[in-house]
Amino acid sequence: MVVGDFPEEVDTLVVGSGPGGYVAAIRAAQLGQKVTIVEKENMGGVCLNVGCIPSKALIEAGHRYHDAGNSDDMGISVGEVNLDFSKVQKWKQSVVEKLTGGVEGLLKGNEVDIVRGEAYFVDDTTVKIMDEKTSQTYKFKNCIVATGSSPIELPKFKWSDKVVSSTGALALKEVPEKMVVIGGGYIGVELGSAYANLGAEVTILEGTKQILPGFEKQMSQLVSRRLKKAGVTIKTEAFAQEMEETENGVKVKAEVKGKEEEFEGNVLLVTVGRRPNTDELGLEQAGVELDDKGFVTIDKQCRTSSSNIYAIGDIVAGPALAHKASYEAKVAAEAISGEAAEIDYTAIPEVVFSGPELASVGLTEKEAKDQGYDVVASKFPFQANGRALSLNESEGFMKMVTRKEDGLVLGVQIAGHNASDMISEACVAIEAGMTAEDLALTIHAHPSLGEITMETAEVALGMPVHIVK
């Protein structure tokens, strides 16, 4: 049934409630805009429901299960360690629900109107919002589009109960005995290592010469080594060609360094990238231009080719990361309020929640040199940090790239325990234009992993205290 469709007038309409959309809606409301947000599935988008949060919950469960049975070197041994995976899934879901419920509460608390349904653009000031039964037209003054991305399905590896995307892998009812992963990017490595820690025999097939190809070789090697220790088989320069379903799973044929090999798994996780959700939105009717990969083209204020429509998050170019989406959300909301906000991607961190964690912000040594900087690259090992030793997590290093003439911090890479938290100090340093001297002269609490930042800066200044020059 289609009810009488008298258009509703709204001020700012936000399409999608992921970390792009819900943050944009809250910030726009805080700035005095009357905001309506529309969501066709669950509040919180991919990140909260089937991305960042549930994956980290599963990774944590994997660590705890693995560590419970592997702490002999610290004098701790327990009897048989049991895993009730249905309880793990229940706990993971409770974390998700706390956060998605929280988002809804925050939106309501900021007086954002929530509409359920799928938005489709009719022109540059009009959308239709449809659910199974009804369709309602909305006229907007400004719109922020934050419809996110979806996993890429390979033609020869169609989704099924045995061939799953990250969403399916997060929802498995039991830990598979054997899992094959196509794609050694961060999602493949994170989920592959979580299931390996939970007891699965995991094989990762990666097309390039190393897993996590976006990171420096030495960092990726640390992760490879840890994965292999956990029993994971890693095949690089491996191209999955085809598969057949068997009674208990799948058989995958792959070309590995030019030779054909076969891999068997009860579950096949395919994670070879994501594509922007821009094809079923009617954006062309709103005059919104896309690039040849389907990303919305935007200016420095996230404005599209249609001047009252903004786009943020995974549907615009750049790393598909939740914090990038939320950052762009604030810029777009402020731009609509007439503020002079502009995007500056200099200090966007990238993190892999692997063992050990990897994190990077700013320029790598190579990128800095390619850009013409005369640089100093300084390293400090976790092994020389008291806190890392007391955590029994002494593997890894921090690398700091500074400008030779004045020590300006250009980039920081960390491979080691808690790199995901440690990188924030480096983000602040780059954002604030700090030098190695600023970091070295800052008093850091002892004993802490944070001291590694101070000590790496001291290496850059040529005066490290806890390693010999």
Distance CA 365, CA 412 (A): 9
Least distance between ligand FAD and beta carbon 189 (Å): 11
Peptide bond into 7 cis (omega under 30): no
Least distance between ligand FAD and beta carbon 441 (Å): 32
The angle at the Cα of 378, spanning 351 to 409, to the nearest 5 degrees, equals 65
For ligand FAD, which is the closer residue by CB, 17 or 236? 17
Is 118 annotated in a binding site? The answer is: no
Helix (H) or strand (E) run with residue 270 in it: strand 267-270
**DSSP assignments along 197-244, one per residue:** HTT-EEEEE-SSSSSSTTS-HHHHHHHHHHHHHTT-EEESSEEEEEEE
Which of 203, 198, 217 is closest to 55 using CA atoms? 198
Which of 314, 427, 313, 410 is closest to 365 using CA atoms? 410
Is 186 annotated in a binding site? The answer is: yes
Is 188 annotated in a binding site? The answer is: yes
Is 185 annotated in a binding site? The answer is: yes
For ligand FAD, which is the closer residue by CB, 38 or 268? 38
Going by the DSSP 8-state scheme, the letter that residue 382 receives in this structure is G
- Non-local CB neighbours of 79 within 8 Å, separated by 6+ positions: none
Least distance between ligand FAD and beta carbon 70 (Å): 25
Least distance between ligand FAD and beta carbon 36 (Å): 12
For ligand FAD, which is the closer residue by CB, 46 or 376? 46
Pairing of strands 358-362, 350-352: antiparallel
C-alpha 234, offset from chain centre: 22
- Non-local CB neighbours of 258 within 8 Å, separated by 6+ positions: none
Exactly one of 63, 66, 323, 446 is catalytic; which is it?
446
Beta strand ranges found along 62-103 (DSSP E): none
Is 75 annotated in a binding site? The answer is: no
Q: Residue 205 is encoded by which pair of tokens?
A: 């097939």
Least distance between ligand FAD and beta carbon 123 (Å): 16
Q: Which residues bind ligand FAD (CB under 6 A)?
A: 15-21, 38-41, 45-47, 51-52, 55, 118-119, 146-149, 166, 187, 277, 281, 313-314, 320-323, 325
Helix (H) or strand (E) run with residue 104 in it: helix 85-109
417 is catalytic: no
Is 206 annotated in a binding site? The answer is: yes
Catalytic machinery residues: 446
Binding-site residue set: 56, 147-149, 183-190, 206, 273, 314
* Binding-site residues for NAD(+): 183-190, 206, 273
- Annotated binding-site ranges for FAD: 56, 147-149, 314
